[in-house]
A = this chain, B = another copy of it.
Amino acid sequence: MAKHDIGFAAVARLAGVSNATVSNTLNRPEIVAPATRERVLAAIEELDFVPNRAAATLRQGTNRLIGLVIPDIANPFYSAIARGVTEAAAEHGYTVALCVSHDDPHLELRHFEMLAEHRAAGALVAPLTADASRLAQLRRVGSRLVLMDRTAPEGTGCSVAIDDVHGGELAVAHLLASPAPASDRSIVLVNGDLAIPQCADRREGARNAFIAAGLDPDDLREVTVDEMTVDSGRIAGRRIAAETPRPTGVFCTNDQLALGVIRGLNDGGLAVPDEVSVVGYGDLALAADGRVPLTTVEQPKDELGRVAVEILLAELGADRAAHEHVTRTLEPHLVVRESAPLPA
């Protein structure tokens, strides 16, 4: 990279010091006499010297590199996390290695091997499937891991997650709060596979909202879709429009689904929000700009990424043995838009 590869030796010679002093000016400037420091810095400038991190990594056994392992960078949920991660990492002088797993265990493992070869300081992982054995496999690599958007089982490691139970509760409480008495309301939950922890949590929150309102959670009507996409949402929306009693509110566990449901409801002759309110989840960019701006639960994705970095760095600082695993939970917020306005 640097033209003619210059090392500490050349800088030291030009500055008239030893290379230990060059190292110190770079890594612990405070212990170097100001005058010496100036001379070294001048020599560095003069020679266009670029320190070689590979050498430092080799010597120290660890690299200021963090792996970010996610299923898909084009998915806005993950790319928002990635933004938080890159910002926080840059602030701390760490480089981020972007590893996209496409949720392929083989690929994911290869990424971990690469990170290990680079002697990465650790990795932030957002696994799509909860497969415990895979996570165990990951930890086996020995690297420090922080799980994102998933809670690590009992002291197996650090993690940051979003409180989806609370998010589900916010959504349904809002649907229940509208003018008519709660008992007259009929709410439908459109959800994905309950094996996905997020789906199960959001449902639990929805049921909690019923309980808090003095209703029987089993009165929550549920529709399950195979894929959490606009298209399946639309099909679900049509079906819901045809059912009786006509629902007063629909909570979809993601925004794509909600967008589809609104269309499906419209297809079936129901107006949103005039006849039915719809709440989504996730607050994707498309939420605000759909045919009806979506009321949705906003997840602090940026913060999730930032916090993951901070937890990892804290873990690195701690004594290997002394370290207590940390689990942080972030709170989502309701963003009220037209698809489910505030009660009048």
**Interface, chain A (partner B; CB < 8 A):** 1-3, 5, 50-55, 57-58, 61-63, 65, 68, 72-74, 76, 79-80, 82-83, 86-87, 90, 95-100, 107, 110-111, 113-120, 141-143, 230, 256, 259-260, 285-286, 288-292
Interchain CA distance A181-B79 in the complex, whole Å: 45
18 extra A-B contacts, CB within 8 A, seeds A50-B116, A74-B80: A2-B116, A50-B113, A50-B117, A53-B54, A53-B118, A53-B119, A54-B57, A54-B119, A65-B97, A68-B98, A73-B73, A74-B82, A74-B83, A97-B97, A230-B288, A286-B289, A289-B290, A291-B292
Residues of B contacting A62 in the complex (Cβ-Cβ under 8 angstroms): 1
Copies in the complex: 2
Say which residue of B63, B68, B72, B113 sits within 8 Å of A83 (CB atoms): B72
- The answer to whether B76 touches A1 (Cβ under 8 A) is no
A117: min CB distance to chain B, Å: 4
Residues of B contacting A52 in the complex (Cβ-Cβ under 8 angstroms): 58, 117, 119
Residues of B contacting A259 in the complex (Cβ-Cβ under 8 angstroms): 289
Task: Name A84's closest neighbour in chain B (CB-CB).
Answer: B74
Task: Name A75's closest neighbour in chain B (CB-CB).
Answer: B79
- The answer to whether B118 touches A95 (Cβ under 8 A) is yes
- The answer to whether A82 touches B73 (Cβ under 8 A) is yes
Known: A1-B116, A98-B68, A290-B289. A55 touches B58 (CB 8 A): yes
